[in-house]
Structure 1
Amino acid sequence: MRLRLDVAYDGTDFSGWAAQPGRRTVAGVLAAELTRLFGSVDGLTVAGRTDAGVHATGQVCHIDVADEAWERLRDSLLRRLSGLLPGDVRVLSVAPAPEGFDARFSALWRRYEYRVTDAPWGPLPLRRHDTLGWPRQLSLTALNAAAAALLGEHDFAAFCRRKEHATTVRAVQRLEWRRDPDGTLVATVQADAFCWSMVRSLVGALLVTGDGRRPVEWPGGLLTRRERANEVTVVPAHGLTLVAVGYPEHGHADRAEQTRRLRA
């Protein structure tokens, strides 16, 4: 039986999602308590492997468990997990996954938000773990003008920490900023997938255009690079939250196969 889990966590005290020896990770904590309940859990797979300090309100993962264990626990699983898991990670829902579902490869897109305040006093105390304080005034108009040039499918090598044999071609479907009523600026970034440090690099490049230190054409001009641009700052992890993952209504196995093909 394959189960889909929707998960939220505060990444402040985690060394990222992926299990690492001697480190506290979301996958490590979650797998330990799922194994305690089910006795055996196979193939904990996540939609997006978030870095240390990154949060999630809409993370998705899957596990494979014995049918009889699911029948025994299905009505009490969420309540049991809430009693076992620490306060900085919650399982929001658990359900049998559709046929062919793979949390990682069946995904159509991942959506992140990055929160920034340009208030002179910095982030409010209750938001200090998920909001970056920026020391200069930011222009919403400039931020969105610069972001528009980064939409579409491009080689984002300038914004990625390269991994050997991994492509840096990505399709950015949404990249826009808004200013919330409390004055906080929020970047929404959605793509079919992201390479290592890509979202935080995009935000870093946009912020220096928003505060006027770079022209609005500068981030888009970096798309001609085929190596990482060292002048692009990777902003701190704590402002970033994975808010949603999108999947097709049908054809999960077909989508997974398509995703596995290396982008040209």
Structure 2
Amino acid sequence: MKIGLGLPVDEPAVLVDWARRADAGPFRTLGLLDRLVFGNPEPLVTLAHLAAATSRVRLQTEVLIAPLHNTALLAKQSATLDRLSGGRFTLGIGVGGRADDCFAAGIDIRTRGRRLDEQMTLLHRIWAGEPYGSGAGPIGPSPVTPGGPEVLFGGFAPAAIDRVGRFGDGFLGAALPPALMADRFQQVRDAWRKYDRPGEPRLIAQVNVALGPDETVEQARRNIRAYYAFSGHADHIAGALLATPDAIRDAAKSYSDIGADEVMLYCWSSDTGQVGRLADVVS
């Protein structure tokens, strides 16, 4: 099973160091979250910067809130990042759920799912080199990856799982323990078969971790509480943080046992020493 790292967002200046260390280690993927009304770095800009600092590790939005974005521009940005990274880019996307993000982007939160469905049809058409529409021609550059970059869907609603079967290459599951994630993974496989897709969907699990001295762990918990303050469950989520080698190993094995192709260890503290510590855990 492959292991990825979710990058911290509280100190953007350290992310190049994180990326270079991860590129030299056992990790397959670097993930970066998306918000608009928050202090995180913009993920597509940041991952383009990290693409230039790495040569092996994959780069993944985890997840990009696609309805906040202009679709034609998103198609161009993602195809450009796919080319700049030599095909190492994965577009993890979802609808989001924060009213302030939707308000700031000027979209109706009630129609964001329908908007994402429309976006996916247009994204695939643009990546295939077809004209944008009757008033505009093709939008380049062409992605390195045939048909466009790998697309993963995240989310909890049945519509998110259905989109994997209709539009995606796999599913990115977060915030569920292995016993519950197993059922979610099976729903994804069922959606895949429903749409007669060949092969199997990629199944990725995400778990929050912090590994290091007490300050590193406490910084991670503070950042989790700040990020999830809107939810009313911030303390519960921070309390579920995995902060020992054994807990992280056990979680990775448990997700592997239910069929995860990759586990993303999402780091909430900017302490770069975690890259080496986590490499030792998973090696």
Q: Which TM-score bucket, shorter chain as reference?
A: under 0.3
Which structure features the higher share of helix residues?
2
Which fold has the larger relative contact order, with Cα–Cα distance below 8 Å and residues 6 or more apart in sequence? 1
Q: Provide the TM-score with structure 1 as the length reference.
A: 0.25
Q: Provide the TM-score with structure 2 as the length reference.
A: 0.24
Which structure features the higher share of strand residues?
1
